[in-house]
């Protein structure tokens, strides 16, 4: 790898750090769906998980390495603490990938050394060097992160980086683990590393940061100006606590303002060549997919991918945009995958036209998925006069989530009004093939539906979030429902879309219950070696470089 590339490497950690968002746990199939979409987005590196953390994480890394880490695809990476068992598990899981990377880390700040690691600087220095060298015995591409680098003593940080690069690290990542720094401070830290680590030219400088003060993206852009060439980020900025630097914001900032950033990567200011390899037209679709599968909604005013990002309500703004979009828009909606032409297909459209339009939107479905989506499309065509790309996207995202269909909704019927007690009747098909019907009274129609479903499935759970969004405008709009429910210390999300919001609410709840049921009845065996499936209690956190 060129250690001084003239473009920015995008390292996506949605499946690792992003999954550490409370309630965002993904199963293996869901991770595969997202990984395939990240490959279409053309990220350079996918951090597929933390192979040693659990059998499920090992399996996810292994399957992504096998199915996404193909020739011409992205580098597949696994996180590993600076411990031999972690590194062994990462190497084993990554074996199927054509291009693989082990990302190992250990804390370097005095506060972490004293209270978390309970180790001296000399011990940490020795461990870091030894474990990078050990990782190097499995593969050439090794990344090292000094966790909490921003709060570390710079002189000690320089020592650690010099020794780990000498041991074979090809990328050194500088994490703002707690989201503490500011742009000028972060830029100065990167400059200090370049000036004081003698062998820094032998490695790519990477940055990782959290958004606790709302500065993560600004910090990263300043780091680029100071010499960082890899950005570790997540779709929609999800992640631990306040999240990570948002991939879509970084990519579009570098795209829209490339004339400003070009000189910092050694290009002529007027160069039109993109600064990243990202296919920006896949950004919106990727954002929606991650939101649907994790159950974490995108706020309407979110930059780039929020519902209001290209919306104008002010009369002055509307007048300007109608005359020339550039008056109030600094980027074209089509550049992130949106389209101005929302009326695409109707109820008389055939399967071939449907498949063709989906391919144009970036969806490549298998035969079974296509058949299910086409049936949904036909049903929607009978209810809606005009079907938009957003409607199609909602249908397809609903079909590719791969929620196991154990309990299946056969019927939902509600009765409510200002002088009636909301009552719901539901019929479900159980995993054993039985049809069971029950009814319940609730505080509202959705509450009554959920109470009736609970009477049938008899799985204890607590509904902790219920959200409804309209996909398109109009009285016949598709409504998307996202819910999260808790069972013990686990949170499960469900998502569904339908023109009938009561039906969508019931289906979303069934989706979440099916995930919960699958977890409760999942076999514990996995293809990893026994020692890789065991979790070793160490003196520092398994949560990873966050």
* 440-460 pLDDT, tens digit each: 999 999 999 999 999 999 999
Which tokens is 71 given? Answer: 């020739």
> Range with the lowest mean pLDDT among 15-29, 120-134, 268-282?
15-29
Confidence of residue 314 (pLDDT cuts 50, 70, 90): low
> Range with the lowest mean pLDDT among 95-104, 320-329, 415-424, 504-513?
320-329
Which tokens is 461 given? Answer: 């759970």
pLDDT of 537 > 70? The answer is no
Which tokens is 437 given? Answer: 């019907």
How many other C-beta atoms lie within 10 A of the C-beta of residue 515? 26
Instruction: Give whichever of 27-36, 60-69, 387-396 has the largest mean pLDDT.
Output: 60-69
Kindly report the CA angle at 532 between 527 and 533, in degrees rounded to 5? 70
For position 474, what pLDDT does the model report? 67
For position 1, what pLDDT does the model report? 44
CB 506 within 8 A of CB 453: yes
The chain-wide mean pLDDT, for the chain, equals: 87
Burial tier of 426 (Cβ tally within 10 Å: 0-12, 13-18, 19+): buried
pLDDT of 481 > 60? The answer is yes
Comparing 61 with 546, the larger pLDDT belongs to 61
What is the rounded distance in angstroms from the CA atom of residue 226 to the CA atom of residue 247? 19
For position 348, what pLDDT does the model report? 65
What is the rounded distance in angstroms from the CA atom of residue 535 to the CA atom of residue 546? 19
Comparing 468 with 277, the larger pLDDT belongs to 277
For position 402, what pLDDT does the model report? 56
Phi, psi of 271 (to 5 degrees): -60, 135
* 338-395 pLDDT, tens digit each: 765 443 466 667 777 778 777 766 677 778 778 888 887 887 777 666 676 667 776 7
* Per-residue b or e along 171-183, where b marks 16 or more CB atoms closer than 10 Å to that residue's CB: bbbbbbbbbbbeb
Q: What is the mean pLDDT of residues 74-96?
A: 98
* 116-168 pLDDT, tens digit each: 999 999 999 999 999 999 999 999 999 999 999 999 999 999 999 999 999 99
What is the rounded distance in angstroms from the CA atom of residue 125 to the CA atom of residue 104? 14
Instruction: Give whichever of 80-84, 313-317, 483-487 has the largest mean pLDDT.
Output: 80-84
pLDDT of 501 > 70? The answer is yes
Which tokens is 68 given? Answer: 């996404």
Query: Helix, strand, or coil here: 129?
Result: helix
Q: What is the mean pLDDT of residues 53-75?
A: 96
For position 524, what pLDDT does the model report? 43
> Range with the lowest mean pLDDT among 77-91, 216-230, 300-314?
300-314
**pTM exceeds 0.85:** no
pLDDT of 18 > 60? The answer is yes
Phi, psi of 226 (to 5 degrees): -95, 0
Confidence of residue 400 (pLDDT cuts 50, 70, 90): low
What is the rounded distance in angstroms from the CA atom of residue 443 to the CA atom of residue 260? 56
For position 529, what pLDDT does the model report? 42
CB 374 within 8 A of CB 351: yes
């Amino acid at each position: 790898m060129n250690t001084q590339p003239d473009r920015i490497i995008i390292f996506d950690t949605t499946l690792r750090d992003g999954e550490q968002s409370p309630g965002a746990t993904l199963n293996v199939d869901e991770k595969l769906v997202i990984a395939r979409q990240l490959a279409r987005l053309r990220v350079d590196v996918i951090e597929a998980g933390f192979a040693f953390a659990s059998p499920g994480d090992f399996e996810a890394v292994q399957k992504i390495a096998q199915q996404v880490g193909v020739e011409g695809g992205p580098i597949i990476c696994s996180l590993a603490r600076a411990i031999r068992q972690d590194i062994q598990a990462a190497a084993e899981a990554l074996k199927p990938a054509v291009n693989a990377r082990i990302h190992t880390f250990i804390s370097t700040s005095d506060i972490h050394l004293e209270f978390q690691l309970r180790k001296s600087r000399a011990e940490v220095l020795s461990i870091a060097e030894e474990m990078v060298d050990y990782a190097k015995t499995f593969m050439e591409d090794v990344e090292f992160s000094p966790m909490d680098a921003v709060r570390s003593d710079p002189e000690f940080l320089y020592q650690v980086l010099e020794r780990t690069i000498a041991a074979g690290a090809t990328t050194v990542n500088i994490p703002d683990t707690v989201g503490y720094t500011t742009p000028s401070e972060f830029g100065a830290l990167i400059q200090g590393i370049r000036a004081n680590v003698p062998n820094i030219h032998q490695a790519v400088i990477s940055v990782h940061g959290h958004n606790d003060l709302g500065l993560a993206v600004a910090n990263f852009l300043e780091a680029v100006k100071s010499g960082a060439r890899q950005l570790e980020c997540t779709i929609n900025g999800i992640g631990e606590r306040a999240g990570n630097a948002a991939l879509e914001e970084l990519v579009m900032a570098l795209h829209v303002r490339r004339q400003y950033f070009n000189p910092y990567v050694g290009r002529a200011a007027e160069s039109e060549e993109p600064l990243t390899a990202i296919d920006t037209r896949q950004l919106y679709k990727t954002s929606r997919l991650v939101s649907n599968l994790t159950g974490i909604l995108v706020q309407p005013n979110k930059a780039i991918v929020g519902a209001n990002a290209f919306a104008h309500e002010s009369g002055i703004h509307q007048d300007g945009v109608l005359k020339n979009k550039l008056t109030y828009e600094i980027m074209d909606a089509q550049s992130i995958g949106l389209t101005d032409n929302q009326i695409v297909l109707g109820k008389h459209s055939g399967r071939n036209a449907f498949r063709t339009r989906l391919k144009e939107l970036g969806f490549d479905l298998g035969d079974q998925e296509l058949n299910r989506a086409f049936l949904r499309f036909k049903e929607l065509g009978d209810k809606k006069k005009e079907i938009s790309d957003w409607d199609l996207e909602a249908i397809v995202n609903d079909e590719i989530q791969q929620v196991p269909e154990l309990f299946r909704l056969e019927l939902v019927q509600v009765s409510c009004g200002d002088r009636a007690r909301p009552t719901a009747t539901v019929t479900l098909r159980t995993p054993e093939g039985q049809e069971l019907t029950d009814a319940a009274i609730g505080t509202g129609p959705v509450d009554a539906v959920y109470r009736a479903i609970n009477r049938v499935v008899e799985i204890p759970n607590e509904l902790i979030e219920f959200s409804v969004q309209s996909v398109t405008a109009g009285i016949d709009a598709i409504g998307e429902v996202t819910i999260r429910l808790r069972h013990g210390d686990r949170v499960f999300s469900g998502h569904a879309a339908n023109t009938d919001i009561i039906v969508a609410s019931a289906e979303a709840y069934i989706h979440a219950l099916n995930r919960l049921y699958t977890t409760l009845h999942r076999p514990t065996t996995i293809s990893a070696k026994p020692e890789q499936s065991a979790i070793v209690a160490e003196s520092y956190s398994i949560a990873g470089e966050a």
